[in-house]
Amino acid sequence: MSNDNINACLILRHESPECIMKNKLESIAVYCGSATGANPQYTKDAIALAKIFLAHKITLVNGGGSIGLMGVMADTMMQGGGKAIGVIPTNLKEKEVAHLGMTQLMVTKDMHSRKLAMVNMSDAFIALPGGFGTMDEVFETLTWAQLHLHQKPIIMYNPNGYYDALLKQADHMVQEGFLYGPTRSLLMATDDLTQLLPMLNHFKPPTAEKWLNHKKDN
Ligand code: AMP
């Protein structure tokens, strides 16, 4: 384990056109619960996703805790000889029991630097079931995409309809005129674990440069 203290820069790394166009995912951030949830299936799914990453030689980027689905994925990656990088804010190192067996554990000065580092280090984002922390990470990443600060794909794994209500809410936001249709398409979802990578790979960022002016289109 190497323990790099980092202060993530305050702006998102500028993406080169090659980086945006490359159709190969080398590292993926997985946002997920610091709990394992009520259904043992969530743990099985986290293990299965880590095995998919191992098979595709994808580096896991996560919150660096040893607890919950986060820890399950990190353990599976390390047991399978893969690469897993944890990014944890200094104040959560004890609370979330920092995972000391990951390929690399980065310690950030605060939560914001953690999220920024995770976004900069990853080619795409997957949300497994989780709670408020997972939602915070997903929505921050989505709003950065909405602002065109990055163009990386984001997908929710939605087993047993776990995120149905949230996805329905997103549709409702569009219907009620608070969310622009092309922006809604930034949030992909599937209940099929095997479709996560293909959907991320086929993602085309919406070409809606005028989103800030969409009121003018009405
Ligand atoms: P949860 O989904 O609530 O179990 O949290 C999952 C992860 O989200 C944990 O590793 C938290 O550290 C992280 N997280 C990210 N942003 C926040 C935030 N603003 N408040 C609390 N937790 C957060």
Q: Which of 91, 136, 138, 144 to mutate to test the pocket of ligand 1 (most atoms within 8 A of CB)?
A: 136
Asked if the structure places residue 9 within a domain, the reply is no
Q: In one letter, which amino acid is 63?
A: G
Pick from 95, 202, 56: which is nearest to 70 by CA?
A: 95
C-beta 111 within 6 A of ligand 1? yes
- What is the model's pLDDT at position 193? 98
Asked if the structure places residue 131 within a domain, the reply is yes
User: Ligand 1 mean position to 19 CA, how many Å?
Assistant: 28
> pTM score, two decimals?
0.89
Sheet containing 124-127: order of strands: 3-6, 104-108, 84-89, 59-62, 27-31, 124-127, 154-157, 187-190
- What is the model's pLDDT at position 4? 43
Mean pLDDT by runs of 10 across the 218 residues of the chain is: 40 46 82 97 98 98 97 98 97 89 97 97 98 98 95 97 98 96 96 98 80 52
Owning domain of residue 35 = 29-201
Asked if the structure places residue 206 within a domain, the reply is no
Asked if the structure places residue 208 within a domain, the reply is no
Asked if the structure places residue 1 within a domain, the reply is no
Q: Which of 99, 134, 142, 162 to mutate to test the pocket of ligand 1 (most atoms within 8 A of CB)?
A: 134
Q: Could you give the number of structural domains in the chain?
A: 1
- What is the model's pLDDT at position 34? 95
- What is the model's pLDDT at position 213? 56
Asked if the structure places residue 104 within a domain, the reply is yes
Q: In CATH, what number is assigned to the domain containing residue 87?
A: 3.40.50.450
Asked if the structure places residue 12 within a domain, the reply is no
User: Ligand 1 mean position to 133 CA, how many Å?
Assistant: 3
C-beta 198 within 6 A of ligand 1? no
**What is the DSSP code (8-state) at residue 118?**
H
State the closest ligand 1 atom to the C-alpha of 134, by its place in the atom list counted from 1: 2
- What is the model's pLDDT at position 20? 43
Asked if the structure places residue 122 within a domain, the reply is yes
C-beta 96 within 6 A of ligand 1? yes
